[in-house]
Amino acid sequence: MTHRHVASERRLQSLGETVNRRERSRAPMECSLMYSSQNRSGEILMGDGRVTDLSHLGLGIRGNTVVMPGMELALFLYLLDGKDPLFVMETKVAWTSGLQFGVEIMGMGLREGNRLRHFLCSTLTPSE
C-alpha cells in the first residue's frame, strides 16, 4: 500500500513538472481578445475570448473556437490601457484543454513588444 502511494505521488509530481514548462510565470489577467488562423486548405478560423494569464512570452486563453496544439495564430489583445488592440502577429498553440489553451508568442513588432512589456510592468505589483 505504501509503495503504491509513493509511486502515485511520483507520477503526480512528474505530471506537474511536465505541465508547467514555462521560463517565466504569467500574471493573472482578464481582458478580451480575438484570434485567427488559416489552415493549409486556405480556410480561415476566427475566434474570440478572454485572456486568463499573460507574460511577454505567452498567454492563456479561454476561447470560443477549438484550436489544436501546433497551430499558428494571430491575436488582437484588448489590453486594459484604453488604447487600440495590441496586434501579436505570430503565436503558436502550446496546449489545449477543450476551449482553454495556451500560446507561445513567436513574433511581434518592436513597438508592440515594448507596449506589452510596459503594460505588464505597470500592472504588476512588486510581489508578483
If you search the block for the grid coordinates 510596459, which residue do you land on? 118
**48, 47, 35: which is closest to 88 by C-alpha?**
35
As a dihedral over the C-alpha atoms of residue 45, residue 48, residue 49, residue 54, rounded to 10 degrees, the angle is 80
Alpha helices for 1-128 (secondary structure H): 2-19, 110-123
pLDDT of residue 58: 95
What's the pTM value of the predicted model, to 2 decimals?
Answer: 0.75
Residue 99's alpha-carbon distances to 38, 60, 95, 125, in angstroms, are: 18, 11, 11, 29
Residue 43's alpha-carbon distances to 69, 87, 105, in angstroms, are: 17, 21, 22
Give the span between the Cα atoms of 100 and 64, in whole angstroms: 9
Contact 51, 29 (CB under 8 A): yes
Running DSSP on this structure, what letter comes out for residue 26?
Answer: -
- At residue 24, the 3 state secondary structure works out as coil
**Where on the phi/psi map is residue 98: left (φ > 0), alpha (ψ -120 to 50), or beta?**
left
Q: Which domains does the chain have, with CATH numbers?
A: 24-123 (2.40.10.220)
* Overall average pLDDT of the 77-94 stretch: 94
**For 43-60, how does the pLDDT look when each residue is reduced to its tens digit (9 = 90+)?**
999 999 999 999 989 999
**For 17-37, how does the pLDDT look when each residue is reduced to its tens digit (9 = 90+)?**
434 454 555 667 789 999 999
